[in-house]
Amino acid sequence: MTELEHDGGKTAEPRLWRDNGWTARVIKNEDDDGWAVAMTPDGQVEPALVGPWTMGRDKKNPKPLDSAAFNTLVKTAAEFVRRHEQQLHAALHQQVVITHGAQRVCVWLDIEPDEENPSAMLRATDASGELLSQARVAPSFKLTRASADAWAESGFAAEAVRKE
């Protein structure tokens, strides 16, 4: 049975624990003589987090996993995954607020990271949320206060942001 095919039951071995949607595997640290622990969410092939693991009393073998350590590792790995997802969301959905004339304008960049055909949409809304303009832009478009100001100064012309 492979990592992806395990039956979902609990496993509690000195170097392998499975429970609560996670697998903790104590592995040899390839960078030195120590040990590491890899935390892999169920259904994933690659670990979400790999960190150092404590040596046992004999200073050669790893300390066995236990319930308290496993629960701490699950909490740490889940928080790491959550922060990564938040950073990805922030990178794909950006917002800048500018003043254009006497009006407060929110400029939004939403990137669709499709492997074959990535795309991005730039939108400007007024203070009440009403759409002022939108334009397709390259997924590499850099939304900054300066680029938003330049778009607004052009009258929100699509050509002003497509040159990026």
pLDDT at 33: 75
The pLDDT of residue 3 is above 90: no
Greatest alpha-carbon pair distance for the chain in Å reads 72
At 137 the three-state DSSP class reads: strand
Residue % of the chain over a pLDDT of 70: 94
Considering the chain, what is the average pLDDT of its residues? 90
Residues 6 or more apart from 141 whose CB is under 8 A from it? 109, 120, 122, 147, 161, 164
Residue % of the chain over a pLDDT of 90: 74
Q: What is the pLDDT of residues 91-128, one digit of tens each?
A: 999 999 999 989 999 999 999 988 899 999 999 999 99
Please give the Cα distance from 126 to 128 (Å, whole number).
5
β-pair type (11-13, 16-19): antiparallel
pLDDT confidence tier of residue 163, bands split at 50, 70 and 90: low
Helices (H), the chain: 67-92, 145-153, 158-162
The pLDDT of residue 132 is above 70: yes
pTM higher than 0.85: no
**Which has the closest alpha carbon to 69: 130, 12, 31, 133?**
12
Q: What is the pLDDT of residues 44-59, one digit of tens each?
A: 999 999 999 988 888 8
pLDDT at 57: 86
pLDDT confidence tier of residue 164, bands split at 50, 70 and 90: very low
149 and 98 Cβ atoms separated by less than 8 Å: yes
Return the structure tokens found at 152: 């607004």
Instruction: Tell me the mean pLDDT in the region 17-37.
Output: 89
Please give the Cα distance from 76 to 21 (Å, whole number).
13
